[in-house]
Structure 1
C-alpha cells in the first residue's frame, strides 16, 4: 500500500524536463545580450549604468521560471559583465546580489499568492515593494560597494553613484518589470517552461 502511495506521489510531483533547461539557456542568452548593451554605457554615464535593462528585467525571472530563472539570469549576468570588462571576481560576487534580487519577489509572490500577470492591486503592490523597492535598495548598495572594492570605479562612486544606481534600478524595475508582467506573462504562463508561483513548485 505504501509503495502505491509513493508511486502516485511521484506521478503527481512535477519534475524538471529538457524544456526547463532550454528555457534557462535562452533566458541566460537574453540577459547576457541586454547586459552587454547596458555595459556599453559604463564609460559614458553613471545614469546609463543605473538604467540597466537587464537588471530591470531579470527580477521577473523567478516569477516566470522559478529556480531556472535565477540560474539563467546569473549565467547571463556573468557572461554579460565579463564581456563588458568587469573583473571576474567582482562579477561572481555580484551574483549573490542577483540571486537575492530575484528570489525576494519570487518568494513574496508565493507567500502573498499573487498573480504574475499583475492585473490586481495586491500583485502590483507586492511587486513594487519586493521586486522594485527593497531589492533595489539593498542590491544597489551591494553592487556599488563591490564595484568600489574591485577598484572598477573611483571611491566617490559609493556616495555619489549609489543614489543614482538605486533610483535607476527602482524606476527601471517599476516600469519595465511591470510592463513585462502585464504584456508577457499571459503568453509565458501558457509556455511549458513556466513554473507556477506556488510553494510546491520551484523547478517545474
Structure 2
C-alpha cells in the first residue's frame, strides 16, 4: 500500500515535470509564432492544447503547472514585469481550470466517448476557456501598457483563434488515445488532487 508521503512525492515529481514541459512548450510557441506587437503571445500557442490535457489528467497539479509554465516560459523569459506577469499568466490557468471544473462537476468522461462528453469539451475545453484566456491576457497587456488599445482586437483575435485551432486539432486526440493508458497508472488524478 502506498503511503501519503510516497503519493505526495510522486505528484510533486509529476508537477515539476509538467512545469518544465509547459515552460518549454510556452517558450517555443512564443518564439516561433509571435503576435506583434504583443510580446509573450503566440498565434499558434500549441502549449495550451497540452496544458488542457495535463489538467484533465493530473487535476490541479496540471492546472497550476500550466500557470507556472506560462509565468516562466511566457512572461519571465520575455522580461515582462513580475507584478504584471503574475496576473497575466492567470490566462493559462483559466484555460485549464475551466475544462477541469466542468469535466469533474458534470461527471464527463475525458476520453470523449459520448456526444455529451464531446459537447462539454467543445463548450468548456475549447470555446469558453480559450475565450476567457484571450480576453484576460489581451486585457492585461493593454491595461499594463505593453500593447496599445488600438491593437487589442488583433491581439485578442490572434490569441483566441490560434488557441481554438491548436486545441481542436491536438487535445481531443490526446484525450481519446492517451487517456486510456494514463488512467491505469497511479499518477492519474480522478478529480482535483488525487
Equivalent residues in 2 for 1:104-119 (5 A)?
Answer: 104-119=98-113
Shift of 1:44: 6.3
TM-score of the pair, normalised by structure 2: 0.85
Secondary structure in 2 aligned to 1:66? helix
Question: Is it true that 1:83 corresponds to 2:77 in the alignment?
Answer: yes
> Contact 2:35 / 2:43 at 8 angstroms: preserved in 1?
no
> Contact 1:64 / 1:194 at 8 angstroms: preserved in 2?
yes
- Alignment correspondent of 1:29: 20
> Contact 1:66 / 1:202 at 8 angstroms: preserved in 2?
yes
Residue segments in structure 1 that go unaligned for 5+ positions in a row? 1-10
Shift of 1:194: 0.9
Note the alpha carbon deviations across 1:118-154, whole angstroms, 9 max, x for none: 2322212111110110111121011111112223333
Compared CA separation, residues 29 and 59, structure 1 to 2 (3 A): same
Shift of 1:42: 2.2
> Contact 1:136 / 1:166 at 8 angstroms: preserved in 2?
yes
Shift of 1:43: 6.2
**RMSD across aligned positions (CA):** 2.3
| C-alpha distance in 2 between matches for 1:163 and 1:43 | 10
- Alignment correspondent of 1:7: none
Compared CA separation, residues 152 and 137, structure 1 to 2 (3 A): same
Question: Is it true that 1:202 corresponds to 2:192 in the alignment?
Answer: yes
| C-alpha distance in 2 between matches for 1:33 and 1:84 | 13
Residue among 58, 67, 89 paired with 2:60: 67
Which protein shows a greater Rg? Answer: 1
Note the alpha carbon deviations across 1:68-122, whole angstroms, 9 max, x for none: 1112112211110111333322221123333322221111112222112223222
Number of aligned residue pairs = 187
TM-score of the pair, normalised by structure 1: 0.81
| C-alpha distance in 1 between matches for 2:91 and 2:35 | 22
Residue segments in structure 2 that go unaligned for 5+ positions in a row? none
> Contact 2:126 / 2:167 at 8 angstroms: preserved in 1?
yes
Show structure 1 runs of 4+ deviating over 6 A. 43-46
Equivalent residues in 2 for 1:133-148 (5 A)?
Answer: 133-148=127-142
